[in-house]
Amino acid sequence: MNNRVVVTGIGIVSPVGLDAKSTWKSLVAGKSGIDHITAFDPDGFETTIAAEVKDYDVTTLVGRKEARRMDRFVQLAVGAALEALEESGMKIEPDNCERVSVMITSGIGGIITLSEQIGVMGERGPKRVSPFLVPMMLPDMASGQVSMLLGAKGPNYAAVSACSSSGDSIGLAYEAIRRGEVDAALAGGAEASICPIGVAGFNACHALSTQNDEPQKASRPFDATRDGFVMGEGAAVLVLESMESAERRGAAPIAELVGYGATADAHHITQPAPGGEGGARAMKIALKGAGIQPHEIDYINAHGTSTPLNDKFETLATKSVFGEEAYKIPISSTKSMTGHLLGASGALEASVCVLAIANLIVPPTINLENPDMDCDLDYTPHIPRRGRIRTAMSNSFGFGGHNSSLVFQSVE
């Protein structure tokens, strides 16, 4: 089979909004969600800033008992999944539950719970470790908990590929629907790693920005003064379904997912392959699968982490795929506002692409004040741009050499 796959719902919990509507409004306005860390006392850390989700309370959605058995990343996933499902209008019932999949991933999983329970063991002994440690820390538990909450009995798993994780989860759900294995899927990712060991670990590998004095300016993709990414947390989930399923329900698709490409650099545990070769191949595969020529792309949401090598090599990769057309395509990195949601970033940025198509607006890249000579494409600095957006691409690249690319299109 070769079913068409459409997006009928979007759910987002992010550092700039607790739902999709408020997140989109903040991104278009160029609002940063980065500030000083409040989740713990960061005194003595090289990095003391992050993009935290503020004022989120999962107990408005599930009971307190259930909430206590969920790591924070799972709690964030629940909010995004329920919003996406509500917007889609899809009901999961006994007659369709086996045809609905859940593929919500995390790049890191329940690191907050794990680190807390290691502390408990050290202070109080192994017998005081929570019996819920293991089911709370596993990266698949956002998918598992959402499946149980909704009663979705189709394929349920989490593709873990670092910062490409949720891009790959969306891509795998897309392929399952195309093949006719399921009619619909809740696909995306969630991440919550802003804790002492999480920040210390990324500091140790020199990945994080240390521009602590001006938090909202610290994430500076493609800027010559960029010095690393800013950790973010949050979740984003798309409801994907076959066009036939959407039409049968009378649902109005927001956009169509038409292409997915995934590759490996086979080069280095953290650095991208020279010239962005692996990312370029992922983009080419996605374009070929979509049957789209490079000049037909109207917007690219870049991986754009604000790290020196990633931004440079992503620029080179884009040029290698699009040639001279690369200079004509509006590109932005919304990580300049949300920080880097790690395993959830691909789903958040895929959602941004869908919203860009629906609203005909390219969100800006903020903080791009001193353009890097090696990053000379149109990165939509500071101000959003209205215009024709029929087709959009979302790119995600991860530690370990993982690359994924998704192509969305307006529905015709």
Active site (annotated) includes residue 382: no
Name the active-site residue from 195, 340, 375, 402.
340
Name the active-site residue from 303, 353, 375, 402.
303
Name the active-site residue from 163, 195, 353, 375.
163
For the CA atoms of 408, 362, 296, 293, the dihedral, rounded to the nearest 10 degrees, stands at -60
Written as six digits, the tokens of 229 are 């990414």
- The 10 Å Cβ neighbour count of residue 341 is 31
233 in Cβ contact with 192 (< 8 Å): yes
Separation of alpha carbons 273 and 268, rounded Å: 7
Active site (annotated) includes residue 303: yes
Active site (annotated) includes residue 163: yes
Separation of alpha carbons 8 and 261, rounded Å: 22
3-class SS letters over the chain = CCCCEEEEEEEEEECCECCHHHHHHHHHCCCCCCEECCCCCCCCCCCCEEECCCCCCHHHCCCHHHHHCCCHHHHHHHHHHHHHHHHHCCCCCCCCHHHEEEEEECCCCCHHHHHHHHHHHHHHCHHHCCCCHHHHHCCCHHHHHHHHHHCCCCCECCCCECECHHHHHHHHHHHHHHCCCCCEEEEEEEECCCCHHHHHHHHHCCCECCCCCCHHHCCCCCECCCCCECEECEEEEEEEEEHHHHHHHCCCCCEEEEEEEEEECCCCCCCCCHHHHHHHHHHHHHHHHHCCCHHHCCEEECCCCCCHHHHHHHHHHHHHHHHHHHHHCCEECCHHHHCECHHHHHHHHHHHHHHHHHHCEECCECCCCCECCCCCCCCCECCCEECCCCEEEEEEEECCCEEEEEEEECCC
Annotated catalytic residues are 163, 303, 340
